Amino acid sequence: MPESNPTTVQLVEAVCAFLENDVMPSSQDRLAFDTRVAVNALKIVARELRLGASLDESEQQRLSGLLGQNGSLDALNDLLTAQINTGVLDSDTPDLMNHLYQTTMGKLQIDNPRYSTYKRLHDKGKNGDQGSLS
Amino acid sequence: MSPSTVELAKKLATLLSRHKGQRCEITQLVALSGGANNQTWRFSVPSSTGGGDNYILRLSSVQTDQGMTKEVEADIQRAAGAAHIPVAPVTWVLTPQDSIGSGYIMSLVEGETIPRKILRDEQYAQMRNQMAFSCGQHAARIHAIDPLKLAGLELMDVDTQISQYEEVYRGSGMRLPVIELALRWIHNNRPTPVPPQIVHGDYRNGNFIVGPEGIRAILDWELAHLGDPMEDLAWLCVNSWRYGNWDKPVGGFGQREDLFSGYETISGTPIDPCRVHFWEVMGTLKWGIMCMMMSASDEQSGPLAVERAVIGRRTSETELDLLELLTGDR
């Protein structure tokens, strides 16, 4: 796809600002509530557009290392869930837990970086791609 | 008022007039919440001498095969009241001649239910210190209700719940490694079954009406069932119901020790924290799967309502909490 201006992120952020600054102050009750939820939804979209690709890439790299093979992200995750399901990998496997923490922290970074557990672990430095878990 | 609301007001007036033996007028009838099947309404019946009474109507307009009937819900709420558990008094159960649907009417209990206000407002500061202990006491009283006195409660023991939620997850087609890991843990760590007791089923911050002096009413009995009572204590501790106060595991307002000691003062038997921990993992997993399902939709049914759509993204919150619960770093 050729590069467009404004970018997708900018378009989403423009709609987000419109809802927050123009629609929300003049609405009430159910409409005000749903507008706030809509703003949250668009903020998730904007964060995913910014971060999604690089988070996916590091997830795929970790999975390749953990499972000792290459493949698409979907295929590797299929294999991972199968290995967890059959008990080949479990919570005593440090590399597995390290991977799951980093992947889940990445999801929260998009879905809800204000979530208490995310903030607490983030402050403890338990999220980085350097990913040292102690 | 919409025509259907006017119609409902008329029917309620007839019902109230019959029960009170005098002509009653219905005012301020508003829907508090509700979808197609389950509705909650609030209304007032002014008195000729001034003032009046405020009521809540719980109504299910369509009776489905799933879930408890409103008649059973009224029964359990009455049984709870009789057992000195704070609940809104059930005043009348609807009958077919009322032609309103299946449901019941209870007195309105004034107070606060919004968790963030309960956790933040100064006027509840004193009460918050006692709340975990009280929640323990009330839970023990719920669990002590004789199950034989109530008909129509489903048995939802640990194995039933595991298979039910696992089936929902497998049917969703989603592949979530953390959910797989949690399911595996649940299977390997499930506690020995206990004789089924009455479980509230949605015992959490959000289902309590409070005042500055304490809990005034416990709400939402529609998920009550027979099962392992520790499910209630654990559900109250699930991180999603702490509203950010992660260091106050009981509903964001208290400590487990206080919850447990409140419970033990009434039940007389010591609590096994491992069993509660199991149910906290189970509760977190259940909430994650529920979030997933609430936002599930098939292509034909068109776009989701925005609130339903966003709730699906809350599954990742429970995944992170599950990792914390499973690694014991709590």
> In whole angstroms, what is the distance from residue A73 CA to residue B69 CA?
46
Verify whether the Cβ–Cβ distance A34 to B306 is below 8 Å. Answer: yes
CATH number (domain holding residue B76): 3.30.200
- pLDDT band, very low/low/confident/very high, at B299 (cuts 50, 70, 90): low
Rg over CA atoms, chain A: 19
Task: For residues B70 and B130, state if they share a domain.
Answer: no
Verify whether the Cβ–Cβ distance B245 to A116 is below 8 Å. Answer: yes
Verify whether the Cβ–Cβ distance B184 to A80 is below 8 Å. Answer: no
Residues 6+ apart with CB under 8 A from A58: A102, A106, A129
Residue B166 Cα distances to B32, B71, B92, angstroms: 33, 30, 39
Residues in chain B with CB shorter than 8 Å from the CB of A84 are: 177, 180-181, 184
Task: For residues B92 and B239, state if they share a domain.
Answer: no
By residue range, what is the domain housing residue A57?
A: 8-123
> In whole angstroms, what is the distance from residue B247 CA to residue B252 CA?
7
Task: For residues B139 and B267, state if they share a domain.
Answer: yes
Task: For residues B130 and B240, state if they share a domain.
Answer: yes
B301 burial class (0-12, 13-18, 19+ CB within 10 angstroms)?
exposed
Task: For residues B136 and B61, state if they share a domain.
Answer: no
Task: For residues A102-110, give the mean pLDDT.
Answer: 97
Give how far A104 is from chain B: nearest CA, Å. Answer: 6
Verify whether the Cβ–Cβ distance A38 to B314 is below 8 Å. Answer: no
Residue A111 within a domain: yes
Residue A72 within a domain: yes
> In whole angstroms, what is the distance from residue B248 CA to residue B46 CA?
43
**Is the predicted pLDDT of residue B38 greater than 90, yes or no?**
no
Task: For residues B147-174, give the mean pLDDT.
Answer: 93
**Could you report the per-residue pLDDT of A54-92, keeping only the tens digit for each?**
999 999 999 999 999 999 999 999 999 999 999 999 988
ipTM at complex level? 0.92
CATH number (domain holding residue B305): 3.90.1200.10
Find the CB nearest A44 among B244, B313, B326. Answer: B313
Task: For residues B91 and B133, state if they share a domain.
Answer: no
Verify whether the Cβ–Cβ distance B177 to A80 is below 8 Å. Answer: yes
Residues in chain A with CB shorter than 8 Å from the CB of B242 are: 116
The confidence score (pLDDT) of residue A132 equals 42
Residue A87 within a domain: yes
Task: For residues B224 and B281, state if they share a domain.
Answer: yes
> In whole angstroms, what is the distance from residue B129 CA to residue B285 CA?
29
Task: For residues B123 and B258, state if they share a domain.
Answer: yes
Q: Tell me the torsion sign for CA atoms B88, B92, B98, B101.
A: positive
Task: For residues B85 and B166, state if they share a domain.
Answer: no
Residues in chain A with CB shorter than 8 Å from the CB of B313 are: 44, 111-112
Tokens in use for A65? 């290392």
By residue range, what is the domain housing residue B225?
A: 115-327
Query: Looking at chain B, which residue has its C-alpha nearest residue A89?
Result: B181
The confidence score (pLDDT) of residue B305 equals 86
Task: For residues B69 and B151, state if they share a domain.
Answer: no
Structural domain count, chain B: 2
Structural domain count, chain A: 1
Helix (H, G, I), strand (E, B) or coil at B319: helix
Task: For residues A25-45, give the mean pLDDT.
Answer: 92
Verify whether the Cβ–Cβ distance B321 to A100 is below 8 Å. Answer: no
Domain end among B50, B74, B107: B107
